Amino acid sequence: MPFKSALVRVTQHLFCTILLWFMSTGLVLAAPELPVHPVSLVLPLEQKQVLAQADAFQLHAEPLWPTLLHYNKHPITRQTRSLSDDAAFFYSPQGRTNPEAELKATLLALMQPSRADAPDEHPQCQFPARYFWLKSRLNEFQKLAVDQPCPRFDAWAKSINPAGATLIFPSAYVNSPASMFGHTLLRIDAVGQTEATRLLAYTINYAANANTNDGISFAIKGLLGIYPGLMSSAPYYAKVREYSDLETRDIWEYKLNLTADETLQLLRHAWEIGKVRFDYWFFDENCSFLILRLLDVARPGLTLSQQFPFTAIPADTVKAVVKASENENTKLVSEVSFRPSTSTELNHRAKRLSPEEIDLAIAVAEGRIKPEQINPQQIGPELLSVDQSAEKAAEVLEFADRLVTFRGYKGKLEAQSALARMSNIQSTRSRFPKVNVGSPEVPVRPELAHDSGRVGLGLGSLGGESTLFADFRPSYHDLLDPEKGYARGAQIRFGDVSAYKRSSEDWKLNRLLLVDIISVSPQQQWNKTLSWKVRFGWERTFGNEVAAAPLLAGGPGLAWGQGSNLITFAFLENQLVRNPKNGDQWLLGTGPLLGALWDVNASNRVQAEVLHQWYSDEGVQRSKAQISWRKALNRQTNLIGSAESLHVDSTQPNSFTQQSEQKFSIGFQRYF
Q: Which residue has the higher pLDDT, 315 or 336?
A: 336
CA nearest to 244, candidates 339, 156, 333, 315: 339
User: Are residue 221 and residue 332 in the same domain, yes or no?
Assistant: yes
Residue finishing a domain among 339, 371, 403: 339
In a domain, 484, yes or no: yes
Residue 181 pLDDT more than 90? no
User: Are residue 411 and residue 483 in the same domain, yes or no?
Assistant: no
Q: Tell me what the mean pLDDT of segment 621-629 comes to.
A: 97
User: Are residue 454 and residue 510 in the same domain, yes or no?
Assistant: yes
pTM score, two decimals?
0.84
Q: Determine the pLDDT at residue 16.
A: 44
Q: Tell me what the mean pLDDT of segment 38-43 comes to.
A: 56
Q: Determine the pLDDT at residue 75.
A: 66
In a domain, 62, yes or no: yes
Segments forming the whole domain that contains residue 108:
45-147
Note every long-range contact of 155-160, with CB atoms under 8 Å and residues 24 or more positions apart, other chains counting.
156/29, 156/30, 156/271, 157/264, 157/267, 157/271, 159/202, 160/188, 160/190, 160/201, 160/202, 160/267
Q: 182 Cβ partners below 8 Å, 6+ apart?
A: 169, 170, 171, 172, 173, 313, 314, 315, 446
In a domain, 36, yes or no: no
User: Are residue 315 and residue 220 in the same domain, yes or no?
Assistant: yes
User: Are residue 189 and residue 273 in the same domain, yes or no?
Assistant: yes
Q: Determine the pLDDT at residue 30.
A: 41
Question: Taking a C-beta distance cutoff of 8 angstroms, is the pair 262, 196 a contact?
Answer: no
Residue finishing a domain among 107, 127, 147: 147
User: Are residue 530 and residue 634 in the same domain, yes or no?
Assistant: yes
Question: Taking a C-beta distance cutoff of 8 angstroms, is the pair 533, 508 a contact?
Answer: no
In a domain, 558, yes or no: yes
Question: Taking a C-beta distance cutoff of 8 angstroms, is the pair 151, 124 a contact?
Answer: no
At residue 22 the predicted structure's pLDDT band, cuts being 50, 70 and 90, is very low
Count of domains for the chain: 4
User: What are the tens digits of pLDDT across the range 212-223?
Assistant: 555 555 556 655
CATH of the domain at 662: 2.40.160.40
User: Are residue 259 and residue 359 in the same domain, yes or no?
Assistant: no
Q: Determine the pLDDT at residue 172.
A: 82
- Sheet architecture: strand order including 202-208: 229-235, 202-208, 185-190, 162-170, 251-256, 333-339
Residue 382 pLDDT more than 70? no
In a domain, 562, yes or no: yes
Q: Which residue has the higher pLDDT, 259 or 76?
A: 259
At residue 332 the predicted structure's pLDDT band, cuts being 50, 70 and 90, is very high
Task: Tell me the C-alpha distance between 348 and 437, whole Å.
Answer: 9
User: Are residue 51 and residue 107 in the same domain, yes or no?
Assistant: yes
Question: Range with the lowest mean pLDDT among 92-101, 225-234, 429-438?
Answer: 225-234
Q: Tell me what the mean pLDDT of segment 106-113 comes to.
A: 94
Task: Tell me the C-alpha distance between 48 and 58, whole Å.
Answer: 15
User: Are residue 308 and residue 377 in the same domain, yes or no?
Assistant: no
User: Are residue 420 and residue 457 in the same domain, yes or no?
Assistant: no
User: Are residue 16 and residue 97 in the same domain, yes or no?
Assistant: no
- Number of neighbours of residue 123 by Cβ within 10 angstroms: 23
In a domain, 434, yes or no: no
- Strands 490-502 and 475-477: what pairing? antiparallel
Q: Which residue has the higher pLDDT, 631 or 386?
A: 631
- Number of neighbours of residue 433 by Cβ within 10 angstroms: 9
Most confident of 265-269, 287-291, 300-304, 320-324: 265-269
Task: Compute the chain's Rg from CA coordinates.
Answer: 29
Residue finishing a domain among 429, 462, 496: 429
Taking all residues of the chain, what is their mean pLDDT, rounded to a whole number? 86
In a domain, 318, yes or no: yes
Q: Determine the pLDDT at residue 19.
A: 39
Task: Tell me the C-alpha distance between 59 and 99, whole Å.
Answer: 10
In a domain, 436, yes or no: no
User: What are the tens digits of pLDDT across the range 25-40?
Assistant: 334 454 444 444 444 4
Q: Helices 342-350 and 386-409, interaxial angle, to 10°?
A: 150
User: Are residue 166 and residue 107 in the same domain, yes or no?
Assistant: no
